[in-house]
Structure 1
C-alpha cells in the first residue's frame, strides 16, 4: 500500500460522503419527522435507501439548504 492509500484509509470518509439518519436530519433542520419525509417524497431533499433504511448524504442536505437560501434571496 502506498503512503497516500494508507492515509486515505485511515482518514475515513469525507464530510461529503457521510450519511445521515432521519432523526439527525430532523435535528439539523429543526423539523418534524413528517416534514422531513415530505421533503424526501417531493424530491426536494435527496436520499438513498439501504435495505429498509433511508439515509441522506450530507451533500444532499447542504445542497437543499443552499437552494432554499438562494430562493429566499431572490
Structure 2
C-alpha cells in the first residue's frame, strides 16, 4: 500500500495517537470503560485543546500487562 495512503488511514501503522473511539474500538471495550481506565491512570492520555488522545504505545502496554496477568 502506498505510504501516503497508509498515513491517511485512521489507525494505520504510523498512528501515534488514537482518538477515544479508536482506542475503545481497538480494545473492544465500551467508551465508559475506556474513561475508567484513563481516570485510574491505567492508560495514558494527551490533551490537545479539547481533544483527548491516547498514545498507541499506552494501549499496547495495557494489553501486554493484561496478557501477563491472565497467564499468572
**Structure 2 partner of 1:57:** 55
Structure 1 spans left out of the alignment, 5+ residues:
1-11
Greater fraction of residues in helix: 1
**TM-score normalised per structure 2:** 0.76
**TM-score normalised per structure 1:** 0.75
Alignment root-mean-square deviation, CA: 1.6
Greater relative contact order: 1 or 2 (C-alpha under 8 angstroms, separation 6 or more)? 1
Aligned residue pairs: how many? 61
The list of structure 1 runs, each at least 4 consecutive aligned residues, that deviate by more than 3 angstroms after superposition, is: none
